[in-house]
Amino acid sequence: MFPSRILKQFNGSSKIKVLSYLNSNHATLLTPFEVTWNVMKNLSNEKARFKREMKLAEGNKELAEEMAKFPPPEDHIILVQHAPTYTVGRNFRMTSDNKKEGNNNFKGLGEAEELPKFHGGIPIFKIERGGDVTYHGPGQLTAYFVFDLEKEGRKKDLRRFVEDLEEVVIEALNQLTGKKNIVGRDERNHGVWVIKEKRKIAAVGIACNRWVTSHGVGINLDLVEGGRGAGFDGIRACGIGEEEDEGVTICYREAWGGGNGSSVPTMEEAGLEVVRAFEEVFQVRAEWNGNGD
């Protein structure tokens, strides 16, 4: 484990829109995964399509002048707390339920030939991000980033982008806890980890089309109250085996909430710190669009 390191790379003053599905008046508000998934895909596809059309306009002065009349679609951050959902990324494989043979990381699924629509009553979505299987649900803040890495002043480097997203989470948790060097990266696995516990508190997974990113991070805030984290019991999240004595079952409440949740931030408070940290790390200015619904 190693602690935070600032990874500033962008010197521009570009804007990013924030679309929030969080609402302080409805603390238990849960958004179905497919709602924000479709919004995110539409935003990222629009940006990729615009870039493709701009590329096609090169060498055609008249068409290029016409295209120049239209501003490029904006970057977006989407903040949401999902209803219970499993998502599987591009690295997922359907194999035997045996770790030594290469299992499918759904516990108890056995040798199913096809991915079922539900596991333990929780819907499963096969999506375009990298990685294996993970769980989204109550008590977890999910932040999606539709971000053009090809804009001037930015680096076309997906590994660096993932590290920068990890830095965003680290800085956000530093602010929320008022402490430094308590969370960081793991040398073998992506995500953000509680250093002392050697347990994962946030997962990172992205997709990219024409250097436009989508998907993002899931930060575990409170998986204790009401058995909110039960969905994690049905999987080997992100392909991390139990025999490694590691996992994603730690959350903010377990690590720093003192057992009574008095210091556990709300979804909106955590979302605000994630946006602030993103502004700092990526040198952009956020504009809030309000609630997604």
Catalytic residue among 79, 80, 172, 238: 238
Q: What is the secondary structure of 143-191 as a DSSP string?
A: EEEE-BTTSTT----HHHHHHHHHHHHHHHHHHHHT-SSSEEE-SSS-S
Q: Given the DSSP bridges, would you call strands 118-119 and 212-220 parallel, antiparallel or unpaired?
A: unpaired
- Do 229 and 220 meet the contact criterion of CB atoms below 8 Å apart? yes
**In this predicted structure, what is the pLDDT of residue 239?**
61
Tell me, yes or no, if 251 is annotated catalytic. no
Q: Given the DSSP bridges, would you call strands 140-146 and 212-220 parallel, antiparallel or unpaired?
A: antiparallel
Q: Which ranges of the chain have pLDDT less than 70?
A: 1-13, 24-28, 95-103, 111, 238-249, 258-262, 290-293
Locate 118 and state its tokens. 């539900």
Query: How far, rounded to the nearest angstrom, does the alpha carbon of residue 247 sit from its chain's CA centroid?
Result: 17
SS3 78: strand
pLDDT tens for each residue of 49-93: 999 988 888 888 888 788 778 888 999 999 999 999 999 998 888
SS3 35: helix
